[in-house]
Structures are given as C-alpha cells and as structure tokens.
Structure 1
C-alpha cells in the first residue's frame, strides 16, 4: 500500500474545499472497494478525505412521489427501507444479491456508483491494462475473457461494470445529484457511467471537484412490478455473468410501460432502449419478449470465451419480463 495522508471532512463544503486544494485526493466512506485498490497499488491518490460522518444518510420522500437517497446511506438501509421494498422492489433485490450482510452494512450509495471493474487483468500489475495504465494494452481481449463485455466495448477495454445496484438504478430512470463549490447539477444514471472508447481509465462523467450527494428515484409506477434476475457461477455473492433489471406494466394484454437494463455485459449498466421501444404497445407474450431480447443483443460482439453470454442474456430478459408480468397481474 502506498503512503497517503488523511483528513476528515466536517461538512460537504469542507470536503469540496479539500478536493479543490488537492486534486489528487480521493474521498472515502465505506471503502469496501477503495481499500482493495489501495492494497493492490491500483489507487494513485496521495490523500484521502473521509466523508463518512457527514449527514448524507437520509432517505426522504419527495413531493413528486419519488425518493431522495443520501450518498452515505448504507446498502443495508436502502435494501431494507419499507418504501423501497414496496415501490422499487427490484432495487432492494439487486442490493441483496450483490454482497454479504457485513459489506452491505458499510458500503454506501455513492461508493456503489464509483466502484471499479473487477477485471482480473486490472487487478494484476503483471499484465498490461489500459484502465490501469493507459496506452499499455488490453490483456483481456486475447486472454481469458469469459467474464468480459459483449456490448459497448472497444479495442482498448472489454471490462464490465460490477455493480448490481447501478443496473437497477438504470432501469428506474434514477438521477445522480452531484455538488461542487460552484453549485449542484443532476446527471441521469444512464449518462453517469462511460463506455470505454479511447479512455477506459475514466469510468464516469463526474467532473473534477465534484462530489456525489444523493441519488433521486423518480415516481415510476411500473417500478412496483420490477424484478432483478442475476445469473452467476455461484450464489455466494459472485459477480454477475449476466443480470437483468426489468419492470413491465400490462393493460388489456398489451405492454403499456417497460424498463430493461442489463449487467455483466458492458463497461456500464446497459439500458436496452431498442428492446423497450419495440415492446411498447406489443402484446405481453413470450413471443414478443423473445423478439425484444433478440433486439437487445443484436449488436453484441462476443470474445473468444464469452459468446455464451448472448443466449444467456436473451433467456434472462425473457424470464425477467415474464416474472414481472406475473407480478403485474396481481394488481
């Protein structure tokens, strides 16, 4: 572990001032991913700013009917919150599928948004990795790439985003609230994370000096019918081979509203917009869901060891939509 200095922020403004004064600083809260990177010499930061004691843990109802979740709310608090369990059940299920209880107790909303890939080549300095050392090459493209991306990848990086929580947020049209000394802004979750393109070392569209302060869940009635399906090598908190967050509302046998997001297949949570557009006003049948799944994966570009993900993702989409329809029928 590299040597670093440490300070504890007393307010959001204090944290932002610390970031301005030290552009190489990194904020730390739960630290469940950051500490791993520090131990592996993957984190270049020379200074840590502890924000864990700031008052950003609240989960509050909005006048619009949605929720504002503070960036320091723990994964446990979010997954167990009665309104989230009732109105956004797929978010609760995604969190519960993502880590052990001990990790959920300390991991935070903001940290979940910022966790980095678990690509083995990124974590092993013996291999070139453009995400770790830009311009060095991508070992996964010609190496063991069973767990890697089939959508949205580039010649520079085929790593996948590891979060279950963020896949659920993508299906829920969530918005990330960020703040810097000059003011606040909101970033739709589908625009928060980046595809690798030529700069895979950049995971998000956060600007220098910005701090995540909250996630906003809109009033989304279809979310009540949402399901989260995670396919993995083992059920003991393994990362997804493929995951699907899906919610569908059916009226008179036809699809009225639908949301589909995929995990384990791209550098960011992958919103299946083309499939959603196709399903609009279509009959809510398995045949329609099969066609939508084909459209969702039509641009997939598998690597040597992960072409199985295409069929797996299609089947997972069909299964998740069918499960969501069955829950919708209970209303």
Structure 2
C-alpha cells in the first residue's frame, strides 16, 4: 500500500471539492472494499477523504418511498422494521452478505459501489482491461468459473458488481441521489447507474469524479412488499453468490399483475430481466410459468468454459425464488 494523506470532511461540499481538486483522492466510509484494493495496489490514492461525519443518515418512509441515507450501515438497514416489513428482499440481501463484522462497518453507499472480485482484476501480476485499459482480459480464456454470462463483451467478462444489495435495489426500482462539488443533486435510477463493460470496462458507473451517493430511495409497492432475495453460494457465510435472484410479485385474483426480477452473480452488472417479467405478468402463478420466465431471463447468456453451469443454476434459483414468493 502506498502512503496517503487523510482528511475528515465536516460538510458535503468540503468532501466533494477536495475530491474534485485531487483526481487521485478517494472517499472512505466503512472502507471494507477500498482498503482491500489499496493493500493489493489495485487502487492507489494519495488522499482519503473520510465522509463519516456527513449527514447522510436516516431510514424513513417518505412520499417517494423508503429513503435510506448512504452512510447507514448494512446491518442497521437489514434489521430495520421498515425494511423487514415492507422490502423483505432488501433486508435479506443485506443480511446474507459478507459477515456480521463487515455488515456492521460497511455503508450502503459503499456497498453499491463494490467492485468486482475477478481474480485477474485483483492480482496486478496479470493484465486487466478494467484495471489498465487496453491490456487484455485473461479471464476469457482463463479461470472464469465465478464470472459473468450476461452483458459481457470482448473486453471484459467480470461480474462487475459481486454483492447482493444492488440486485434487490435493481429489482425494486430504487433511485440514487447524488451530490457534486457545486452542491447540486441529481437522481439516477439504479437501473441506469451501472454501465456494461463494452469497450470501456474501466468505467463502471455514471458517477462523476466529484459526486457522492447521498441516499437510496425505494418505491413502496405491493410487489416490493411481497419480495425476496435468494442466494446460492458455496458456503453459508462470507461467500459471494454463484447465482442469486431478487423477485417481487403482485398477485390479484389469482393472476400476476406486476413482477420484479433481477439476477446476481451472473451479469456484468446487477441484471434486471424485463424478458422474465413480461413472461410473468398476466399469468396465473405456476411452476411452468416460472420456468418459462427463467428460460427467458437466461436466453442471452454467453457462458465460457468454466461457468456454463451458471445458466441452469440461475434458472433454478429464479424458479425457486418465484415459487416461494407466490406461495
């Protein structure tokens, strides 16, 4: 790890201005991802700007839905009654993530910005287009067992967001509030926040250099209230998803009126599936309908040598999640 300076910001403008003026600086809250990457020399920053004193906290229901401050800790949000009762998929995604110790430290904003766990990205002995554009993607012909099968490109096949929370947020149409150095805020639907790798895999989100995530707002809907997050992993603690599904259903009169479907662990970003949702709406819940939706969700998959198993695993995960919610 390189030497770096440290400042603690008392106001949002102080933090964003410092970041604007120093392109190699980084914001730090819980630090559970950033410090790992700095220790590996994957990221090198000459200044860390501590944002923990900023007023980006609170968990409250508003006219637009549930508003969660970006500096709230994962464990606090996952266990909050408003989240558990009205957005179970969000609660489950948080409490199934990482370990209790990490959940007590990690912030919501930092989790949304979590970076890939691709081994080639995290090992500077290898080239990596995401880390050093133009150097290549050794994962394409190398060890790709845990990498993406949806939304990949010839430049990158990493599962760019490896976590759980944003899969649920994408399914439930969450909106991020961002603030820049001029104090101006903008709202970005999380479905528009992440970028596919294309030819520029180093650009992962639409977040500008001087912007902070201020809050996350999740619309309150019937499908959100009847939702769940299902995670399939190699061990029951501190493991990333091989495949996961966040789903929500609104069923009236024995017919699905609204459906929310997103997949994790299989996409180059948290993967919303309008194809699956289209197959569900207007149908009576049944395993056959759920299976058709799962097949539609994975129709565009491009598996590699070691991760072809993810197609069937993701389909089965989605069918199981839909079946449990419908029940």
| C-alpha distance in structure 2 between counterparts of 1:170 and 1:81, whole Å | 20
Per-residue displacement from partner, 1:151-175 (whole Å, max 9, x unpaired)? 0000111110211001010111000
| C-alpha distance in structure 1 between counterparts of 2:128 and 2:181, whole Å | 34
Q: Which residue of structure 2 aligns with residue 236 of structure 1?
A: 237
Alignment length (residue pairs)? 325
Q: Is the 8 A contact 1:151 1:301 kept in 2?
A: yes
| C-alpha distance in structure 1 between counterparts of 2:53 and 2:103, whole Å | 17
Q: Is the 8 A contact 1:74 1:104 kept in 2?
A: yes
- Bigger mean CA offset, 171-180 vs 205-214: 205-214
| C-alpha distance in structure 1 between counterparts of 2:181 and 2:33, whole Å | 26
Per-residue displacement from partner, 1:266-288 (whole Å, max 9, x unpaired)? 12100011110121101211111
Q: Which residue of structure 2 aligns with residue 279 of structure 1?
A: 280
Q: Which residue of structure 1 aligns with residue 2 of structure 2?
A: 2
SS in structure 1 at match of 2:244? strand
| C-alpha distance in structure 2 between counterparts of 1:45 and 1:134, whole Å | 18
Q: Which residue of structure 2 aligns with residue 79 of structure 1?
A: 78
Measured after TM superposition, the shift of residue 224 of structure 1 is 1.3
Q: Is the 8 A contact 1:260 1:276 kept in 2?
A: yes
Scaled by the length of structure 2, the TM-score of the pair is 0.97
Measured after TM superposition, the shift of residue 25 of structure 1 is 1.2
| C-alpha distance in structure 2 between counterparts of 1:272 and 1:189, whole Å | 14
Scaled by the length of structure 1, the TM-score of the pair is 0.96
Q: Is the 8 A contact 2:40 2:122 kept in 1?
A: yes
Q: Which residue of structure 1 aligns with residue 120 of structure 2?
A: 121
| C-alpha distance in structure 1 between counterparts of 2:221 and 2:13, whole Å | 32
| C-alpha distance in structure 1 between counterparts of 2:105 and 2:61, whole Å | 23
Q: Which residue of structure 1 aligns with residue 87 of structure 2?
A: 88
Per-residue displacement from partner, 1:201-252 (whole Å, max 9, x unpaired)? 1111112211110001112221111111101111122100000001112112
Per-residue displacement from partner, 1:10-68 (whole Å, max 9, x unpaired)? 1111111111221221100000000001100011321110001222121122034x111
SS in structure 2 at match of 1:249? strand
Q: Does structure 1 residue 263 correspond to structure 2 residue 291?
A: no
Q: Which residue of structure 2 aligns with residue 319 of structure 1?
A: 320
| C-alpha distance in structure 1 between counterparts of 2:43 and 2:190, whole Å | 24
Structure 1 residue runs of 5 or longer lacking an equivalent are: 327-331
Q: Which residue of structure 2 aligns with residue 174 of structure 1?
A: 174
SS in structure 2 at match of 1:219? coil
| C-alpha distance in structure 2 between counterparts of 1:67 and 1:202, whole Å | 29
Q: Is the 8 A contact 2:42 2:123 kept in 1?
A: no
Q: Is the 8 A contact 1:57 1:74 kept in 2?
A: no
Structure 2 residue runs of 5 or longer lacking an equivalent are: none
Q: How does 1:6-45 map to 2 (within 5 A)?
A: 6-45=6-45
Q: Is the 8 A contact 1:89 1:226 kept in 2?
A: yes
- Bigger mean CA offset, 296-305 vs 12-21: 12-21
| C-alpha distance in structure 1 between counterparts of 2:55 and 2:79, whole Å | 19
Measured after TM superposition, the shift of residue 83 of structure 1 is 0.5
Root-mean-square deviation (CA), in Å? 1.0
Measured after TM superposition, the shift of residue 105 of structure 1 is 0.6
Q: How does 1:83-162 map to 2 (within 5 A)?
A: 83-160=82-159, 161-162=161-162
Q: Is the 8 A contact 1:257 1:280 kept in 2?
A: yes
